[in-house]
Structure 1
Amino acid sequence: MNFSGAYTALVTPFQDGKIDEDRFRAHIEWQITEGIHGLVPCGTTGESATLTHDEHKEAIRICVDQANKRVPVLAGAGSNNTKEAVHLTQFAKEAGADGVLLISPYYNKPTQEGIYQHFKYIADTISMPMVLYNVPGRTGSNIMPSTVARLHKDIPQIVGIKEATGNLIQVSDLIEQCGASLNVLSGDDFTLLPLLSIGGAGVISVVSNLLPNKMASLCNAWNEGDISTARKLHFEMQPLNRAMFMESNPIPVKTALALQGKMDTDFRLPMVPLADENLKKLKAVLVDSGLL
């Protein structure tokens, strides 16, 4: 499985404290209709940290069913508990996901050897395509390029990594050490174009919840050698890229979707509604971007 292009890190709609299946399906369907290349349920943007195991499985099941093999589904299945990650990965495989996104263990702060052994244990237990997820700002630890290169060399089913350090020097070192056989995906929308320029494969995007066609079009333009169009789309989306991180993700993006009438602003604590002063700023960006 070649995970490349624009993948949406899906928001999970809630209503009355439960997953809103109808709106979740509608959101997935709209993403596919708009030309998105792939879908990622149960990532950070999907509030995976506060989903129960049953809800986590339900979100993956709904996404796989609605996508119906029209686009790949890369299911979030990571945990800081290695055996829990195995359990979620096994479910994702049985549910029909095309691969899993595996965050490095958070809070524990394992050594590089601990990170290596965590992913190796999962891969030794279950055979399916795996994409690592490196986001030190959330986990408290960094998967170093040398560790990724070792994992990719030793474990063929590790086919990609979502890189959310925002550090292009690290990403460059990573691509240099791993080569073209590892798909490096941006985990920060604003770094997509520069990452593509040094050999990256695409993005797992927050902003594509709102602009799936434009994010997919940027990747398409780059792959077709149309650099000027890719650059134009990059700068068109930059105000929205910034707005989506004015507060912790997914607060701004879910608020934006609610303002469009696509879902409720129903968050799981400790996530709370967007502050009033930021709500005004968000509305202004959405209007300027033609989304309100």
Structure 2
Amino acid sequence: MQALIGTGVALATPFKNDLSVDIEALIRVVNFSIDGGVEYLVILGTTAENATMTHDEKELVIQTVIGANNGRLPLVLGVGGNNTQEVVNELKTRNLLDFAAILSISPYYNKPTQEGIYQHFKAISLASPIPIILYNVPSRTGSNVLPKTVLRLANEFNNIVAIKEAAGDLEQAMKIIKDKPKNFHVISGDDMIALPMVFAGGSGVISVIGQGFPKEFSEMIRLGLNRKVDAANKIHYFFMDCIEMIFEQGNPAGIKHVFHSLGIAQNTVRLPLVKVDESLALRIDEFVKKSNKLS
């Protein structure tokens, strides 16, 4: 997990106007993130809109990112769901040689108990040939993986090496950081509190905004990890308004408009998601224009 400390980015999937996967734009997003200095890439997380992608499209995205990355950075693959056996079967049959870890979301829709969440991840742990990053995002799953459950999993299974904690609750993250095993990592899944979480002892972030502003955001996290508080805070406070903007009308609609403004990719999303409205688009455009002040 040492290689996964710092800034990872949850890659969005660019689409063309006809809603097909835009391979050339995806390659540009990958290169832009790598050239900007991020530490690793996350494929097929929530930001990728994988909920509205076919199996073949997901495979296309995976192979495109592997090829574009060309071994430069560690890769993390999203492998999760609310059907435990289906996730286990995928882990047993998929070739994971290109990946440093999987990112596995807590079961959604079913709303399991804490014991159910524990048993779900136990089954995944027993099936996975590579390290596992738990993913807690109650706003999407309808259930919260409590610190006691995270710590139980972290202490009992050596291949469960980290959590992407996206409850938006710094106190909850600190409870995990306080009592976690030495080699277990707490990674922010919330861009707005990524830096405070690092200051509290977290290991970095799996970011959305980081792929739109990779140079600045990854530098902020590195400064935070090195306890350069004033310099890190300067970047954090500069980006606060933009972080709010990119999530204001849903993810990844906001970050896709950042790509559009930067000329990297179109701002096309698939229903039921829609593009940001004209007012928000203009505000994002204005922020992108002034972001070069940090360069």
Query: TM-score, normalized by length of structure 2?
Result: 0.93
Is the alpha carbon distance of 1:129 and 1:93 closer, same or farther for their aligned partners in structure 2, counting shifts above 3 Å?
farther
Query: Which of residues 191, 202, 206 in structure 1 aligns to 2:193?
Result: 191
Q: Which residue of 1 aligns with 2:265?
A: 263
Q: Which runs of 5+ in 2 are unaligned?
A: none
Equivalents in 2 of 1:47, 1:161: separation in Å? Answer: 21
Equivalents in 2 of 1:91, 1:53: separation in Å? Answer: 14
Q: Which residue of 2 aligns with 1:7?
A: 8
Deviations 1:232-264 (A, max 9, x none): 111121121111111111111111211222112
How far 1:270 sits from its partner (Å)?
A: 0.5
How many residues end up aligned between the 2 structures? Answer: 291
Q: Which residue of 1 aligns with 2:274?
A: 272
1:171-250 → structure 2 map (5 Å cutoff): 171-250=173-252
The answer on whether the counterparts of 2:249 and 2:276 sit within 8 Å (CA) in structure 1 is yes
Query: Which of residues 41, 44, 54 in structure 1 aligns to 2:43?
Result: 41
Worse-matched range after superposition: 78-87 or 120-129: 78-87
Q: Which residue of 1 aligns with 2:164?
A: 162
> What SS does the aligned partner of 1:200 have?
coil
Equivalents in 2 of 1:134, 1:220: separation in Å? Answer: 23
1:147-158 → structure 2 map (5 Å cutoff): 147-158=149-160
Equivalents in 2 of 1:126, 1:162: separation in Å? Answer: 18
The answer on whether the counterparts of 1:243 and 1:285 sit within 8 Å (CA) in structure 2 is no
Equivalents in 2 of 1:65, 1:130: separation in Å? Answer: 23
How far 1:276 sits from its partner (Å)?
A: 2.4
The answer on whether the counterparts of 1:10 and 1:45 sit within 8 Å (CA) in structure 2 is yes
Residues 1:111 and 2:113 are matched in the alignment: yes
Instruction: Read off the aligned partner of 2:191 and give its amino acid letter.
Output: D
Equivalents in 2 of 1:283, 1:256: separation in Å? Answer: 7
Deviations 1:126-147 (A, max 9, x none): 2211101100000000000000
Residues 1:56 and 2:32 are matched in the alignment: no
Worse-matched range after superposition: 176-185 or 97-106: 176-185
Instruction: Read off the aligned partner of 1:160 and give its amino acid letter.
Output: A
The answer on whether the counterparts of 2:105 and 2:136 sit within 8 Å (CA) in structure 1 is yes
Equivalents in 1 of 2:215, 2:281: separation in Å? Answer: 25
Q: Which residue of 2 aligns with 1:77?
A: 79
The answer on whether the counterparts of 1:80 and 1:107 sit within 8 Å (CA) in structure 2 is yes
> What SS does the aligned partner of 1:289 have?
helix
Query: Which of residues 282, 285, 291 in structure 2 aligns to 1:283?
Result: 285
How far 1:113 sits from its partner (Å)?
A: 0.9
Deviations 1:94-133 (A, max 9, x none): 3511111100011110111111111111111222111011
Root mean square deviation, CA, Å: 1.7
How far 1:73 sits from its partner (Å)?
A: 0.7
Instruction: Read off the aligned partner of 1:86 and give its amino acid letter.
Output: V
Equivalents in 1 of 2:255, 2:22: separation in Å? Answer: 17
Worse-matched range after superposition: 193-202 or 173-182: 173-182
> What SS does the aligned partner of 1:180 have?
coil
The answer on whether the counterparts of 1:9 and 1:40 sit within 8 Å (CA) in structure 2 is yes
Residues 1:32 and 2:34 are matched in the alignment: yes
Q: Which runs of 5+ in 1 are unaligned?
A: none
How far 1:93 sits from its partner (Å)?
A: 4.3
Is the alpha carbon distance of 1:84 and 1:58 closer, same or farther for their aligned partners in structure 2, counting shifts above 3 Å?
farther
How far 1:88 sits from its partner (Å)?
A: 4.1
Worse-matched range after superposition: 5-14 or 269-278: 269-278
Residues 1:129 and 2:131 are matched in the alignment: yes
Equivalents in 2 of 1:24, 1:54: separation in Å? Answer: 16
The answer on whether the counterparts of 1:61 and 1:95 sit within 8 Å (CA) in structure 2 is no
Identity among equivalent positions (%) equals 37
Q: Which residue of 2 aligns with 1:252?
A: 254
Equivalents in 2 of 1:93, 1:5: separation in Å? Answer: 26
The answer on whether the counterparts of 2:199 and 2:225 sit within 8 Å (CA) in structure 1 is no
Equivalents in 2 of 1:39, 1:249: separation in Å? Answer: 17
